[in-house]
Amino acid sequence: MKTGKKILLIDDHDSVLKLLDAILKVRNYEVCYASSGPEGLEKARNEKPDLVLLDVMMPGMDGFKVCQALKQSEVTSHIPVVFLTARGEDTDREMGQRVGGQGFIKKPFRSVDLMETISNLLA
């Protein structure tokens, strides 16, 4: 049974997208994907997800810029954004909060931590 909740995954690494897809689909979330910042912005506008899981380090447009653009658009400003990143520095967390992110999960992550963050934001 589907949860009725849609999650947009934005990451430039296919292996991360596949892992997240498996974790989320087994828990009955609907999943859509983007492999770049600009593609993610377009998908967010068109798919209207309930939550975005967003990589920070991507070529061209990094996750902080993507989040900032999402939060500046009337269509997507309400969507919670959770950053997924290999960088776990305090300055990265602060930047994530500054641009409107509501969560920050360091890679490699435990699926239980990921699901707890998602559940809290979608409750």
Q: Domain segments of the chain: what residues?
A: 6-122
Q: Calculate what percentage of the chain has a pLDDT beyond 90.
A: 87
Cβ atoms of residues 93 and 105 within 8 Å? no
Q: Does domain 6-122 sit in CATH 3.40.640.10?
A: no
Question: pTM for this one?
Answer: 0.94
Instruction: Calculate mean pLDDT across residues 99-103.
Output: 96
Say if residue 2's pLDDT is above 80.
no
Instruction: Specify the 3-state DSSP secondary structure of 55.
Output: strand
Amino acid at the residue 74: E
pLDDT band at 13 (very low <50, low <70, confident <90, very high): very high
CA atoms within 13 A on the CB side of 52: 35
Output the pLDDT for position 69: 98
Summarised one tens digit per residue, pLDDT across range 27-58 is 999 999 999 999 999 999 999 999 999 999 99
Say if residue 78's pLDDT is above 80.
yes
Q: CA 59 to CA 122: how far, in whole Å?
A: 29
CA atoms within 13 A on the CB side of 35: 7
Say if residue 88's pLDDT is above 90.
no
